[in-house]
Amino acid sequence: MEPTRVTHERVEQEDLDTRYLAGTLSEEEADAFEEHYFSCDECWSAVQLGLGVRAAETPEKTYPRGAPLQVQRTGVAPSTIAPRRRQWMPVALAAAVAIMAFGLWQWNDNPRMRPADDALRGPTDSIRAVASVRGRALVLSWLATAGADRYGVRLQKRDGTIIVERLTADTSLALSRDSLPAMSESEPVYWEVRALDALRRTIARSRLVPARLPPRRR
Amino acid sequence: MPSESELASRFWDRIRIFAARRLQDAAIAEDVAQETLRRVIEAVRAGRVENPDAIAGFVFQTAKHICMHAHRSAGREVRAMQRLDDPDESAERRPTALDHLITEERRVEVRSALEVLSPEDRELLRALYYEQLETTALATRLGLTTGALRVRKHRALQRLAEVLDRARAGETLSSNRELKR
């Protein structure tokens, strides 16, 4: 395929959407398709649906989990790193030190680009949030943050899997237990709320707030 | 020109998927989305984007530029750590950062919606997106021409989207009723 000028017809004729998700397009082809789906709602919808089907059909045991290190960073549940992974920690730590040294050198080269630090994600534990259960609804309430335009709220499993993600202008969010995926009531879940300004920058975020699921309707 | 909230809701997930594929890290992809929208909205406010039709291209180019820088600092790190982390998981389809962006809620929604579709539609979508069969191979398996297969795929996706929309509308209603009790 000629990488430039992707049109909707071309996506259909050359199955670019399915090949994109399968990872079989060349970098130039994928790049051109991405540029196309930024402006084509139909192709964007096909990408979203395809990703959803892939996730839905993936067996539970192989379903990819989130990033447990995120949980560890806030100090709530450091034991979420699987034992097998711990064996690699000394090697990983040494590699991380070397990589960080290289990364710092790179950052000095380009100090404006620091994508993964608190400057973008907001300082942790700067929003006070409280989890509760009302009837069969799981509720998170938090104090308003000055300058916040809206709040991004996540409910996550201990292993980092995001169960639900919502955007709200309120300072509380209630989720009906029956609307949540089937999960054991004994499985701990964690809320996280981030305050976003009008430009969608994270200006503050809560620590991970542990919660227990209320029982489902029998 | 679209409003700032329209820009955010239209492009947020597009940028996240785009960045996650390039950087193989869902968290950094989110940072890229934030930074991209910040720059785009500032440019719109400053009147540097005047043509509404050009906004999608401008968002794409901005995201691409930010990804290129992020790739240098963070991407290599992430991939190196992933290789150390999962030395023996090459036998199965390796999950990508794109998979990490799908919430459990969405996964369950789509699974329920697939159960409503006909077995033919479901098998077709499974073969294309989970088994990741090439269109020609799948057409051969099903005894169809590639053209006929594409039409069936298009219709199956349409039906899936309709079922999901209906489920989402019904769920919102029942959820509201539940919370009012």
- Is B65 a residue whose pLDDT tops 90? yes
Q: Which of A1-5, A199-203, B58-62, B108-112 has the lowest mean pLDDT?
A: A1-5
Per-residue model confidence as pLDDT tens digits over B164-179: 999 888 765 555 555 4
- In total, the C-beta contacts within 8 angstroms joining chain A to chain B are 210
Least confident segment among A113-127, A133-147, B153-167 = A113-127
Q: What is the 3-state secondary structure (H, E, C) of chain B?
A: CCCHHHHHHHHHHHHHHHHHHHHCCHHHHHHHHHHHHHHHHHHHHCCCCCCHHHHHHHHHHHHHHHHHHHHHHHHHHHHHHHHHHCCCCCCCCCCCHHHHCCCHHHHHHHHHHHHHCCHHHHHHHHHHHHCCCCHHHHHHHHCCCHHHHHHHHHHHHHHHHHHHHHHHHHHHHHHHHHHHC
Q: By CA distance, what is A91's nearest residue in B? A: B84
Q: Which of residues 7-66 of B touch A (CB under 8 A)?
A: 8, 11-14, 17-18, 21, 26-28, 31-35, 37-38, 41-42, 56-57, 59-60, 64, 66
Interface test with A, best of B25, B58, B59, B105 (most A CBs within 10 A): B105
In the numeric block, which tokens belong to residue B179?
């919370």
pTM for the model stands at: 0.72
- Quickly list DSSP for A127-142: S-EEEEEETTEEEEEE
A20-45 per-position pLDDT tens digit = 999 999 999 999 999 999 999 999 99
- Planar angle of CA A18, A23, A26, nearest 5 degrees: 105
Q: What is the ipTM of this complex?
A: 0.84
Q: Of B6, B79, B84, B171, which to mutate for an interface test with A (greatest number of A Cβ within 10 Å)? A: B84
**Residue B5 pLDDT level (bands cut at 50, 70, 90):** confident
Q: What is the mean pLDDT of chain B?
A: 83
8-state DSSP, A79: G
